[in-house]
Structure 1
Amino acid sequence: MWIKWLSVGIFFVLQTTGGAVHAQVFPQKPIKLIVPFAAGGSTDMVARLLAERMGPLLGQSVVVENRAGVGGVLGADAVAKAAPDGYTLLMGTVSTHGASPAIYKKIPYDAAKDFEPITNVMSVPSVLTIHPKVPAKTLQEFVALAKAAPGKYSYGSPGNGSLGHANVENLLQLAGIQVLHVPYKGGGPALNDAVAGQIDALTDNLPSTYPHIQAGRLRPLALLSPQRSKLLPDLPTYKEAGYPEMDEGGWFGLLAPAKTPRAVVLKINAAAHQAMQDPAFKARSDAIDGIAMANTPEQFGEQIKKALARYQRIAKSANIQLD
């Protein structure tokens, strides 16, 4: 009988300490951090900034791999289907865990169930800009112009179903205006045509647009962020301009496949938070007006739920749905 109880006791100890042991030996090889967008963009920049500083803290390299396509869906799906061992992570965004799941009918992963949130990393505001040829100095003036001439003005986005598309459609629904959507194959071409005056308006991440705003090639109207920008302190947020529903900008956060051991999740969380305290990380974050978003896995999970609910509402009200 005592042998039976000894076996039960050993099993219980293994079950309760297994996660801790796993965390002690993790990692034993390089970690892959998948960025579901092309190299050079904001998501890629934040991922590389974090990976460079997390590697030494974990004792293994954190290697960034870009897998772009379908609004971030391809890269996110690769992580959802990876082994839940902590060696394949995702730099998730409001696209992969908000807009894309709401907009695409046949998305191959469940944004709420197929991932373990680790931590949010950074929020970067996006900004609505217009070409200087448009005779509006404020968002209210642009809305008035669009109401007076439905369909006359146009806006560009990185593509159908993109975050830029969803956010502008949200504004159009709230303001009751009609502005022609011109989808592009990526944010770069859309930004180029906005600067050239081929389209009238564009929503893009502030770091990408800021040089053109500084040079007077684009005029900013509103910031999608919970707070004003240090780079553009006089620019009102959407909430200040009369659209309180639009109060959250884009964010970038770490996720692992579902069922990744809790101890491993917490070890990566701690390393990420420590990396974010690095002076060089803070300096680079400040340069792009990034807002630190370090939080617990549970808090990040709540942010994801909020994003999913918000973009489901937008997709339904604006009738944005893609196969």
Structure 2
Amino acid sequence: MLPRRFLAGALLAAPALARAQSWTPNGPIRVIVPFAAGGTTDILARLYAQRLAETMGIAFLVENRGGGGGSIGADLVAKAPPDGQVLLFHNSTFSATTAVMEFQNRAQHSIERDFAGISVGALVPTVILVHPSVPATNLAEFIAWARAQPRPPFYGSTGPGSAGHLTGEVLKRDGNFQMEHVPFRGASLLVQEMLAGRIPFGGDQLSSAMPHIRAGGVRPIAIRSTARNRLLPQIATVREQGFPNAEILGWNGFFAPGRTPEPILIRLQAEIAAAARHPQVAARIDELGADPGGNSSAEFTAMVQGQVAALRPVVASLGLRME
């Protein structure tokens, strides 16, 4: 079900769209996905790009710019002209990398100053996975297995400072065991290595993980988001399993460069909200185990900034650094 705060924003889309018709894109709009192709963020970006191209009558070109836990693609958008022609489609890893780079005093950009939140595309739960060779169905069993290994097992993430990196370090500390971090340029690359059995532990957004879960290529042992998911109701959350510091709300959303004029943001937010309500888009998002977005720019910005604020003390307590 669409959360009430998002539904309220979606219901305002029509009048907002009418007020924003004065801005027209000047040529194709580039949508930067800061991860490799094939993951949930890429899937959702292309779903929205197709619908927005149909409604706005202009091409939306999705570009994958992976690396640095998403920071390389984000930095490209931060430095783009604030004219609505280059957008960022990121996920909750943006909050984690922001908190980590702030802690290290090496932030290339500011999530508050250099980006303008437009709207959530979807709320997507994230899931912790193990290779089927690992005899674990929950976090306690995995930790017991990891402690019994002759050397610390590998765990994968979508890059240094990413949400997956943060989760792995929280679990190591709070579970009192060891793992070795292996960063990837996107979840699809990480999952490929998990399917091959070279990485026994990692995480992914549920939407792109479900086909592999159903096929038996990976096994879910925890939901990292704030509630259990309808596609995997038997899998407990990290909080339920005693690891509240590993919890993070999963989202995918649109950003424009900072200082983008209000009429552009209003038009884009209204178009995204309308796309989220379209039956085919909403049905596809539901199939992916996610909830459609469409909230207002102010609501999205407050949500992201609140998440960053919540992650700052966790990062500081871990001393987490971009490797």
Give me the TM-score of the superposition, normalised by structure 2: 0.83
**Amino acid across the alignment from 1:102:** A
- Unmatched 5+ stretches in structure 2: 1-17
1:78 alignment counterpart: 76
Residues 197, 303 of structure 1: alpha-carbon distance in 2 compared, 3 angstrom cutoff: same
1:213 alignment counterpart: 213
Once the two structures are TM-superposed, the CA of residue 134 in structure 1 deviates from its matched residue by 2.5
| Matched ranges for 1:37-76 at <5 A | 37-76=35-74
1:309 alignment counterpart: 309
Instruction: Give a deviation string over 1:220-240, Cα, whole Å, max 9, x none.
Output: 110112222222121112122
Residues 56, 94 of structure 1: alpha-carbon distance in 2 compared, 3 angstrom cutoff: same
Considering Cα pairs closer than 8 Å and 6+ residues apart, tell me whether 1 or 2 has the greater RCO: 2
1:270 alignment counterpart: 270
Matched position secondary structure for 1:248: coil
Residues 134, 63 of structure 1: alpha-carbon distance in 2 compared, 3 angstrom cutoff: closer
Instruction: Give a deviation string over 1:263-301, Cα, whole Å, max 9, x none.
Output: 221111111000011111112212221222321111111
Cα distance in 1 for partners of 2:79, 2:302 equals 22
2:230 alignment counterpart: 230
Matched position secondary structure for 2:52: helix
Cα distance in 1 for partners of 2:314, 2:148 equals 24
Cα distance in 2 for partners of 1:76, 1:149 equals 38
Residues 301, 151 of structure 1: alpha-carbon distance in 2 compared, 3 angstrom cutoff: farther
Cα distance in 2 for partners of 1:34, 1:310 equals 26
Residues 148, 28 of structure 1: alpha-carbon distance in 2 compared, 3 angstrom cutoff: closer
Q: Say whether the 8 Å CA contact 1:127–1:224 is kept in structure 2.
A: yes
Q: Say whether the 8 Å CA contact 1:154–1:201 is kept in structure 2.
A: yes
Question: Which entry has the higher C-alpha Rg, 1 or 2?
Answer: 1
Q: Calculate percent identity across the aligned residue pairs.
A: 38
Cα distance in 2 for partners of 1:156, 1:247 equals 17
Residues 312, 52 of structure 1: alpha-carbon distance in 2 compared, 3 angstrom cutoff: same
Once the two structures are TM-superposed, the CA of residue 114 in structure 1 deviates from its matched residue by 1.0
Cα distance in 1 for partners of 2:19, 2:188 equals 46
Q: CA RMSD in A?
A: 2.6
Residues 281, 72 of structure 1: alpha-carbon distance in 2 compared, 3 angstrom cutoff: same
Aligned residues: 303
Cα distance in 2 for partners of 1:213, 1:244 equals 24
1:98 matched to 2:95: yes
1:114 alignment counterpart: 114
Matched position secondary structure for 1:234: coil
Instruction: Give a deviation string over 1:92-113, Cα, whole Å, max 9, x none.
Output: 2222x31222334433211111
Matched position secondary structure for 2:244: coil
- Unmatched 5+ stretches in structure 1: 1-19
Residues 188, 60 of structure 1: alpha-carbon distance in 2 compared, 3 angstrom cutoff: closer
Once the two structures are TM-superposed, the CA of residue 21 in structure 1 deviates from its matched residue by 8.9
Cα distance in 2 for partners of 1:27, 1:193 equals 40
Instruction: Give a deviation string over 1:25-50, Cα, whole Å, max 9, x none.
Output: 42343322222222322212111111
